[in-house]
Structure 1
Amino acid sequence: MFLLVWLRWLRGTVTFLITGAFPEKLINRCIRYHLPVWGVVRESDGLIAHTYARRYRMLHGLSRGTGTRTRIQKKSGLPFVIRRYRRRWGLVSGGIGAVLLLVFLSTRIWVVEVTGCVQIQPQEIIAQLSALGLRPGVAASQVDSRLLQRQMMLLDGRLAWIAVNLVGSTAQVEIREQTAVPKQQDFSDRAANVVAACDGQIRYMEVYEGQPLVQVGDTVSRGEVIISGIIEDQYGNTRTAYARALVIAQVCEEKTVEVPLTQLRWTRQGDPVERRYLSVFDLEIPLFLPGRNTAAAYSVSRSRQTLLDRPVISLVRESRTPVALEAVHLTEDQAREAAFSQMERLREGVDILSILSREESFTQQEGICRLTERWIVEKDIAQEAEIFLN
């Protein structure tokens, strides 16, 4: 039904009124001579009917001898719209161009959606698909889903399964990742000792392979062999093994951070300047008039807003704040606070099990504040040292 209405609008229709003693005679003649007439409705002063614009002139000849007259009530359709704006070719051309542009855009892929990612980042899949030809702006008719699926399986060994479905202007990509099987290391033809990574007192040992040379409570120095990879049995025979163990020791560590009292920092020198760009296929079109740049340096922040639900068309907002590099003098309290903040971040980054005790000292010398902390910690000091056999 919608298609029929659309076709009638393209050809143009005329709504007319039939008056006279017997208006039905004209309708019967139209049917006899195959003149299309539809939507016949009786009104108080006659019959209302519809026909194509080019066929309306035939009604004058058919109405002769029927005692009826016709009068146009309404004109609608594309031919009348074009006639109305025939002197405004710019407006007509713009409308036709907009329709053609919409038709063209509907034949393209504008969005690539990736679902099912666990370890793999969606951006990696999108980049691989782009290299294979599936990218925003490509014609949907040029995308071979089955070929893409086979190529992706060969390209990325992490994929167990992938499906590419085209839904309108969106390419929906669904993946399943392979379950990684942990690889077991083969130590049958290798030998190694477990040595101490640093000085400390052993608090706990869990030996997986090898012969222990020390006991819990012993003190070891850095590089000393804790678990030997050369094992001797009760009969005096020896064999080599790849020694492995967990060795928890109590270790003393010292950490120092320094904070200069005079620091160079970027400071704001004025109000931010807002700029906007229209981004189309990564081409940014300025939406502002160029002005004079008086500041030597700027702090720039940008945000992007997608338009028309199409990632390739977006509005970019840019804020430029003039800044300058200036010397900032810290007080002792500010330097102390900055030093403790740096030490806290340093403490979170070290590989230790627990901190048993902590002593701190704060000194200031030659314009530099130093914070030193001495820790007694528990950590794994086992370090594998391979024995190279001839």
Structure 2
Amino acid sequence: MKNKWIEFLTGKVTVKVSGRGIERFLNVLIRNGLMIWNVKRHGTETITFTMRLNDALKIRHYAKERECSISFLRRAGMPFLFKRLLKNSGFLGGALLFLLIIMFLSNVIWGIEIKGAKPATEYQIRKELDKMGVKIGKVQLFVDNVEGIQRNLTNNVGNLTWVGVELKGTTYHLQVVEKKEPEKPEQIPPRNLVAKKKAIISNMYVETGKKMVDINDHVEPGQLLVSGVIGKEGQTQQVAAVGEVWGETWYKSHVELPLKTNFSVFNGQEKQKHSIIIGNLEIPFWGFGEPEFTEYEVEKNIKKIHFLKWELPISIGNETLRAREEMTRTYTKEEAENNAIELAKNKIKSGLDEDAIIKDEKILHKELKNGKVILDIHFKIIENIAVGQPIPKETPE
């Protein structure tokens, strides 16, 4: 098997020799180190055999001395194959160019289908896709991956609840779920408004119902604020009490903030690496070597290569190495106190309604211990304390 491969790479020819004394001629070839095989006799003065291309170039010299005529019947091997390829290089080049064009066109965006969106929403989505470069005629390798497209659309198109992005061949398929329009107000059964926590009434707005408290009144949890029973005695009716009762409430927060904290930041330096990925084999072709910086984070993005509708086992990998630095932030005692107060405010707001207001704060306890500022803070909050409570149905006597 090894000799056959060598013969194919170096080339071989089938030689026809005619004349007298051809046996002596063969002996001369062998004595001079020329290798021959497949020797066949055709009559008394003709034989054929196979030999290497390099040896065939020397055979005419020996044939002249023996009065033999030589002709070459067949040629085989890499040199002759290469010669034929050069002769047909136009066809070969055209076929290769055709395959490259097909592969290129297979990695171009030729369609964007959007399902589940209203015309106005679809227009906004396509406008946002244009900003990201996701448009017909764009090469897929130069646009963001499917996860990035989905994330950007969700963040930038306001009336989307969810969008699914899928790339099939040369077409992006988007499945959209829009935010539902506000439902019509449901019919509220008769109810009262009662206090959900202890407070001092600071303001009131009653749309339906009868006020049962006044400004500056102190109320306890569960106390009736607005009654759903209206009318004169003997001519009453039950309605759904609607309104807002704003009260001053109180919260206490405990926070600890270190004077010195360590955190990581990107300093703007980065290095790009590109590679071709074939199965589990990764072959780099750009961005060799290690980066100049030692601390970094790696973001890897892989683009699949397509041929027509098929996904090839070949991908283009892109790695972005971003330099990272460890920073130390040091607060003065006053700065730490101010930041601790803001931290406590955010903590309090996270448990309140959006329209609640922080009226005032007061530091009850403050100390510096183990490199930390420790605060106990009292907050005064103005919030809507009214909550609906169904009116029990009257039972007949």
User: Please, what TM-score do these two structures have when normalized by structure 2?
Assistant: 0.47
* Greater gyration radius: 2
User: Please, what TM-score do these two structures have when normalized by structure 1?
Assistant: 0.48
